[in-house]
Chain A
Amino acid sequence: MSDRRAAVANTGNGFSYEEPLLFERSQAGRVGHSVPEPDVPAADPAALFPAEALRDDIPGLPEVSEVDVVRHFTRLSTWNAAVDLGLYPLGSCTMKYNPKLNERAARLPGFAVAHPMQPVALQQGFLQLCHELEAQLAEISGMDRVTLQPAAGAQGELAGLMMIRAYHEQRGEKRHRVLVPDSAHGTNPASAALNGYEVQSVPSGDDGVLHPEAVAAAMGDDVAGLMITNPNTLGLFEEHIARICEIVHAGGGLVYGDGANLNALLGMTRPGDLGIDAMHINLHKTFSTPHGGGGPGAGPVGVKNILAPYLPTPVVRKRSGDEGEGFTLDYDFPHSIGRLHANMGNVGMFVRAWTYIRTLGPEGLRRSTEIAVLNANYLMARLRSEYHVPYDRPVMHECVLSDKSLQETGVTTHDIAKRLIDYGYHPPTVYFPLIVPGAIMIEPTESESLEGLDRFVDAMCAIAEEAREDPELVRSAPHHTRRTRLDETRAARQTVLRWQPEPRD
């Protein structure tokens, strides 16, 4: 039974190094960088500051050589799964290939070592790139205006809801509820709460999509708006979206689109044309900027013209008329929600996304969506004989399965996820969306080839077979990682959140 995994062995480079914490490598006297000697007289801190204002040691830092540091982090890196190593099918995360050209572009000195507050005349290339990226994203999403400032999707939600709140306040309306479908990402209700809104959950229908009647029933003149993810987290296109937007609009509310799943729509349809008033776009999902082990991302927000007065400042503007050529930064937005980021946002991600969009062009973007949707439907078609499909209908860019068909074996989604690791795969998103018990949410993206998908299907089917024949093998997985299952309960009960030199009891 366990021999099958040998064919798809996991890490497999032959080496698996142990590596202590940096602090445990530390040896007094070592340095990893040569700090220059001063070419000016050395200042005496003690002559400038009272003794209690100064420190003479930084106990939290190690003393290690450059070689120590390079080996340390290189070894650490070998313990990570990564897109460049193989399929990383996390649902709603869009773990597509991160092109190398993008990385090179972002490292050009005029982007990488330029300063956000340098004179506008000395950053014209950057402002032009921002202006072009805004226009590209507006065209792709069907929105009128775009702000690039939000640093991630959640900050984009915050910005979008703030603009919606400003819009209502400007009209003298007090609206304090936001509607959120029960299948939504957790950031949606959290962002609404940060705006001081009460969150009301709206149930999805039995067919997995939101129905106009459910929205109509929840609407009222105290509803500021609805937040909706389309396609939703079941991978289903919200086919009643236009009618739903009409209902919300008729009730005086606005509709916010969570753009996490925009990769399913490129060139096929545009959220703005469906009635969405504001939406964020995750550059680190749809537009190929790397996830970086948890960021940085970027969450530009597109809005319809009715929300344009409330855009965060500053706004990039192309000069016109007697202002002359080029671009400038506009702060003159009296109704703006204000500033969200210390600077202009995660600029390095703008450069990468611009490069990606220009690399693909309109046909390439549409092709990406077609293949992403083809891949998800192919996986569902091939896996439905072994895994329960709770909403059995054609999907968009991701499909949701569950562990229900393996229930009598005692093997759960958690176990399947861990066993996939033994086969060399990062697990899919699990136990989300919350409306599917034991959900297994798979988003292969367009980056995976047919052979790659077939190998993944083989692994999933093998695990289903193992669950029936040798459930303990699955329940105790992973078996071949550097660490077996980690005790998360212990981590939460006896929290150790930093290294300390004293022995702990």
Chain B
Amino acid sequence: MAEYEISEEMNYTRSDEWVRLEGSRATVGISDYAQHQLGDIVFVELPESGTELAAGEAFGVVESVKAVSDLYAPVAGKVVEVNESLSDSPEQINASAYGEGWLLVLECADPSQVEGLLDAEAYRAHVAQRDDAA
């Protein structure tokens, strides 16, 4: 299997989103593993600022040439910032999944929801299990 990075600083969902909490602001992206699986990302659809999302709610899609992947909110919150640069350069997600390829920032009502997500170690195990199945 291809090499991918699982950042220790993030929490993860089983659907491959990561979230990084700073106070009540949660930055959300997709994991390096997910961008590897998709291949070259060509399009990202994100909600507008101000949208309220429930935990687990689908909020957009990322697309490669031949695959589409839904994006789900790791925690509940209001979208306060969207990575507008992705509309012109979606390849930032491939190049820097945990950095410039971030998707949006949520203002969370309940930051403790992050604790219910996978930590890096649990996510690594989750991914390894899926790789074996394939």
A–B direct contact (CB < 8 Å): yes
Interface residues of A (CB under 8 A from B): 431, 437, 488-489, 492-493
Question: A437 with B134: in contact, given A489-B42, A493-B42 (CB under 8 Å)?
Answer: yes
8 Å CB interface, B26-41 against A: 39-40
Check if B107 is an interface residue, CB within 8 A of chain A.
Answer: no
CB-defined contacts of A437 to chain B, threshold 8 Å: 134
CB-defined contacts of B134 to chain A, threshold 8 Å: 437
CB-defined contacts of A431 to chain B, threshold 8 Å: 66
Check if B59 is an interface residue, CB within 8 A of chain A.
Answer: no
Beyond the given pairs A489-B40, A493-B43, 14 more chain A to chain B contacts, judged by CB atoms under 8 angstroms and listed by A's residue number, are A431-B66, A437-B134, A488-B65, A489-B39, A489-B42, A489-B64, A489-B65, A492-B42, A492-B43, A492-B63, A492-B65, A493-B42, A493-B90, A493-B91
**Residue ID in chain B nearest A492 by CB atoms:** B42
CA distance A248 to B134 in the complex (A): 31
CB-defined contacts of A489 to chain B, threshold 8 Å: 39-40, 42, 64-65
The 8 closest A-B pairs by CB, nearest first: A492-B42, A489-B40, A488-B65, A493-B42, A492-B65, A489-B65, A437-B134, A489-B42
CB-defined contacts of B64 to chain A, threshold 8 Å: 489
CA distance A127 to B83 in the complex (A): 60
CB-defined contacts of A493 to chain B, threshold 8 Å: 42-43, 90-91
CA distance A265 to B134 in the complex (A): 33
CB-defined contacts of A492 to chain B, threshold 8 Å: 42-43, 63, 65
CA distance A492 to B65 in the complex (A): 7
CA distance A431 to B134 in the complex (A): 14
Some 11 contacts from A to B, beta carbons below 8 A apart, are A431-B66, A488-B65, A489-B39, A489-B42, A489-B65, A492-B42, A492-B43, A492-B63, A492-B65, A493-B43, A493-B91
**Residue ID in chain B nearest A494 by CB atoms:** B42
CA distance A431 to B66 in the complex (A): 11
The distance from the CB of A427 to the nearest CB of chain B, in whole angstroms, is: 15
CB-defined contacts of B40 to chain A, threshold 8 Å: 489
The distance from the CB of B42 to the nearest CB of chain A, in whole angstroms, is: 4
CB-defined contacts of B91 to chain A, threshold 8 Å: 493
Q: Is the interface of A mostly helix, strand, loop or mixed?
A: helix
The distance from the CB of B52 to the nearest CB of chain A, in whole angstroms, is: 25
CA distance A488 to B66 in the complex (A): 9
The distance from the CB of B73 to the nearest CB of chain A, in whole angstroms, is: 23
CB-defined contacts of B90 to chain A, threshold 8 Å: 493
The distance from the CB of A180 to the nearest CB of chain B, in whole angstroms, is: 18
The distance from the CB of B21 to the nearest CB of chain A, in whole angstroms, is: 32
CA distance A221 to B66 in the complex (A): 36
CA distance A492 to B66 in the complex (A): 10
| Residue in A431, A437, A493 with the greatest tally of chain B CB atoms within 10 Å | A493
**Residue ID in chain B nearest A437 by CB atoms:** B134
**Residue ID in chain A nearest B39 by CB atoms:** A489
CA distance A477 to B91 in the complex (A): 25
Contact flags (1/0) for B34-66 with A, using CB distance below 8 Å? 000001101100000000000000000001111
**Residue ID in chain B nearest A431 by CB atoms:** B66
**Residue ID in chain A nearest B43 by CB atoms:** A492
The distance from the CB of A486 to the nearest CB of chain B, in whole angstroms, is: 11
The distance from the CB of A448 to the nearest CB of chain B, in whole angstroms, is: 29
CA distance A493 to B39 in the complex (A): 13
The distance from the CB of B134 to the nearest CB of chain A, in whole angstroms, is: 6
Contact flags (1/0) for B96-129 with A, using CB distance below 8 Å? 0000000000000000000000000000000000
CB-defined contacts of B65 to chain A, threshold 8 Å: 488-489, 492
CA distance A235 to B1 in the complex (A): 29
CA distance A96 to B65 in the complex (A): 30
CA distance A431 to B64 in the complex (A): 15
The distance from the CB of B70 to the nearest CB of chain A, in whole angstroms, is: 15
CA distance A489 to B64 in the complex (A): 8
The distance from the CB of B14 to the nearest CB of chain A, in whole angstroms, is: 19
CB-defined contacts of B39 to chain A, threshold 8 Å: 489
CA distance A5 to B91 in the complex (A): 37
CA distance A374 to B43 in the complex (A): 45
The distance from the CB of B53 to the nearest CB of chain A, in whole angstroms, is: 23
The distance from the CB of A406 to the nearest CB of chain B, in whole angstroms, is: 16
CA distance A488 to B63 in the complex (A): 13
CA distance A489 to B40 in the complex (A): 7
The distance from the CB of B33 to the nearest CB of chain A, in whole angstroms, is: 17
**Residue ID in chain A nearest B90 by CB atoms:** A493
**Residue ID in chain A nearest B134 by CB atoms:** A437
The distance from the CB of B31 to the nearest CB of chain A, in whole angstroms, is: 20
CB-defined contacts of A488 to chain B, threshold 8 Å: 65
CA distance A492 to B63 in the complex (A): 10
CA distance A488 to B64 in the complex (A): 10
The distance from the CB of B72 to the nearest CB of chain A, in whole angstroms, is: 19
The distance from the CB of B37 to the nearest CB of chain A, in whole angstroms, is: 12
CB-defined contacts of B63 to chain A, threshold 8 Å: 492
